[in-house]
Structure 1
Amino acid sequence: MSASITFPQKAPKGKASYYPDESLIKGTHGDVIWYRDLDSESPACLASARSNELVVYVSESVHGKPIAVSGIIALPKKAAPPGGYPVISWAHGTVGCADDCAPSRDVAGTQAHPFNAFPHVLLNKFLDRGWAVVMTDYEGLGTAGPHPYLLGKSQARGILDIVRAARQLHPEISNQLAIVGHSQGGQAALFGAHHAPEWTPELQLLAVAAMAPASAVGTLVNLADLSTEKPDGGNAFIALFVTGALAGDPSIQLADVLTPEALALYPHVEERCRLGLSQTDSWGQFAGCELLKKEQNASRTALFNQFEAMHPNLSIEAPIRISQSIPDKRVNAALTTILVEQLKATNGNDKVDYKLYLLVSPTHDKELGFHFGLIDTDSNALTAWLAERLPKVE
């Protein structure tokens, strides 16, 4: 760990917290740039925490550039055990790429709020167990720059570096870690577990759990490319996929891969949350076949290479748990089952637990549906599985 930051600065109030001067973005990845307590009335706060802090920390883009990433550190109300608090690094699901959608910036009544708030019941259970919880916003979500949606290495670095930042601020947090995520965050959690040994070797990764993880992006885009339908919100995800591909390979020329109509609306990615992208004045107006140019060229090849690289069939040293609901309309259960079989082939059958739910508790919100209902239905079983692998906190 770097000793370059002995007394991290207190962050300024408001959105200025998210945009530190470039002169401050230096040091080792995971170093704290600045931090402050979240407003106690903020909907981003976890109710079971004794403290909720916004932290902005140094990370590194996949191309080696130092960047600032934001997130939240929540400490349990229980006293720290002799070995320190075990820590859960939470990887959130899709909210979009616009900065105001970031979980740490959550505001009640906004389009992103239901998606940011729903996991709180699960995260509060973790705190009640005596586990510290850290929650990255990911690269470029909240902070400067585009958010590289589903770009595995980028998400992994955000997930792991916030643990370093939390331990720098709070020595009572141990190096014993589990990574947990849902949807986009499920895919991100698997990438975090894959990269942990080389990126943060001082951390002891004890488990990774992915709920309804995103997978098979290349397959999904190919299917959309053949479709004349306008699925509910579905084609907004294609726009988000493209942001991750562009960050992974900047040689991709948007004008060579997107139709003129889709290209004209691509700036909405940085302006709207996912629900806004799904509206009929944005990417919700397109059928799948209206998004991508059909002619083959170097940019289209590179784009699909990046989509394939987003698939989270990865070698992982820690125990892996995957959960999925059959009625999920956002992440297809058949694709998750295929991913599980691939993970077993890669890592061994005994390393992967798979919990497939025939029924889950649906939410009352149409957009959340069975996809988010999995979080509630699986929360007790997931917490018990983690408790078997993390040190007990009295």
Structure 2
Amino acid sequence: MSSPPFTDPPENAPAGEAFYTPPPQLPGPPGDPVYQRRLDNPVAELTGGRNWLVLYRSEDAHGAPIAVSGIIVLPHEPPATADGYPLISWAHGTVGAWHMCAPSRDSETSQAHAMNAYPQTLLNHFLDQRWAVAMTDYEGLGVRGNPRHPYMLGKSEANTVLDIVHTARRLFPGQISGRYAIVGHSQGGQAALFSAHHAPERADGLVGVAAIAPANHALDVVRGGAHYPGPNRGYAFTPLFLAGAIGGDPSIRPEEVLSLNARQYWDHVDERCRVGLSWDDSWGRKVTGNYQFKVGYLDDPNDDQEKFNEQLEAMNPDVRITVPVRITQSADDERVRAATTVETVPIIDREVVVRGTDALVEELERTNAGSEPPLSYQFYKKGEIPKPDPDPGELGVHFATINHDLPALTAWLGGLLGA
């Protein structure tokens, strides 16, 4: 059967940086395109398809209309079936909260370049399967004028991951099928699970969700770090978590959560990507674990710190999901841990427990008990996944898991997408 010729939407977007400044009014329902043009950023593009830079209407976690940027890519080859390309909605990992860290804005000099570039092998492979790919930047990334990115705020992430599905369908009618899956890594794995939870009321046609090394148990991570003396590059995540918590509860005051020393570097969250927050002149060296927060955080938190903790607890993606779920995790991952860690902090002789992905899987199995098919957990033992070589950006096994899992993930998705 011959395929009909492609019909591209008209390009209606301003050139250059002006693309990322939305018009004052955002009419229409979530997912409605605002601007679209052919992507002219070769660093961000996927070579396996036709790339479109899009600006679309979405909503923040409180229902207010916002503009969100992203990229939609259609394979070079025609669809394999008459109903069009199945769609993968991709949820990216941590890049930061500053709008310049967005994947669609990537450049070779960006602090987030290594994190943005690595998943391109996976996404190009999806295009080779004749699956279209939609890649949101998330709320607050890419677009100017929005509040900062509310890091790991589940409802916000879900809105953007799901609304871009509607954008793809409206821009390419007849080319995008009614079937889609959600795939995410790290922060994006957590976002993927929240997106699958919210999909029934926001975007129909979801057939499955895959989360690779999904971020989990944020409260454990933050409280664990707050026990330890000395600096650590991992404390760069503290301002990101606080940015997300404020997105969920704008009444949280950073000056009441953070220590006086840490507050000196709070503004960096609006000026740097995650890598820049880890530098020696910022949270990576200037802030110690047990002096990140205002006195009392661990044993007698004030009202703002209590609200901060509530938002952190709500970021854990233990949610009800009505479609097949696949989670991938490596035992050698040093960023998102598989096993629960129990350590005794020196000097203060206090035990710290940080739950990992194994615990999240158990929680999801309880929350979704009786679901068919049951959750699938692909666990890679120690030594199974080598680190990238070379390893720009010190990505480690946390990122190497993406490509190592590619054949198994593709087979799982293919069974669901029917292609």
Q: TM-score, normalised by structure 2?
A: 0.89
Counterpart of 2:326, as a letter, is R
Aligned to 1:120: 120
Q: Among residues 386, 389, 392, which one is paired with 2:416 in the alignment?
A: 389
Compute the displacement of 1:351 (Å): 2.2
CA distances 1:277-316 after superposition (whole Å, capped 9, x unpaired): 0011111121211111133221111000000000000000
Aligned to 1:3: none
Question: Within 2, Cα distance between the matches of 1:241 and 1:9?
Answer: 37
Question: Within 1, Cα distance between the matches of 2:155 and 2:172?
Answer: 26
Compute the displacement of 1:175 (Å): 1.8
Counterpart of 2:361, as a letter, is V
SS in 2 for 1:283: coil
Compute the displacement of 1:127 (Å): 0.5
Question: Within 1, Cα distance between the matches of 2:150 and 2:284?
Answer: 21
Aligned to 1:66: 65
Aligned to 2:160: 158
Give the superposed CA RMSD. 1.3
**Which structure has the larger Rg?**
2
Aligned to 1:306: 311
Question: Within 1, Cα distance between the matches of 2:213 and 2:311?
Answer: 21
Whether contact under 8 Å (2:48, 2:128) holds in the other structure is yes
What pairs with 1:321-340 in structure 2 (closer than 5 Å)? 321-334=326-339, 335-340=356-361
Question: How many percent identity over aligned positions?
Answer: 50
Q: Among residues 363, 384, 387, which one is paired with 1:362 in the alignment?
A: 387
SS in 2 for 1:20: coil
Counterpart of 1:191, as a letter, is F
Question: Within 2, Cα distance between the matches of 1:116 and 1:235?
Answer: 21
Aligned to 2:139: 139
Compute the displacement of 1:8 (Å): 7.0
SS in 2 for 1:21: coil
CA distances 1:144-170 after superposition (whole Å, capped 9, x unpaired): 321000000000000000110111100
Aligned to 1:221: 222
Whether contact under 8 Å (2:57, 2:68) holds in the other structure is yes
Within the alignment, does 1:341 sit opposite 2:362 as a pair? yes
SS in 1 for 2:363: helix
Aligned to 1:102: 102
Whether contact under 8 Å (2:11, 2:38) holds in the other structure is no
Worse-matched range after superposition: 300-309 or 284-293:
284-293
Aligned to 2:342: none
Worse-matched range after superposition: 189-198 or 71-80:
71-80
Aligned to 1:352: 375
Q: Which runs of 5+ in 1 are unaligned?
A: 1-6
Q: TM-score, normalised by structure 1?
A: 0.94
Worse-matched range after superposition: 73-82 or 369-378:
73-82
SS in 1 for 2:387: coil
Q: Which runs of 5+ in 2 are unaligned?
A: 1-8, 340-355
Counterpart of 1:272, as a letter, is R
SS in 2 for 1:269: helix
Aligned to 1:10: 12
SS in 2 for 1:333: coil
SS in 1 for 2:17: helix
Moved runs in structure 1, 4+ residues, more than 6 A?
A: none
Name the CA shift for 1:121/1:384 in 2 (closer, same or farther; >3 Å).
same
Counterpart of 2:235, as a letter, is N
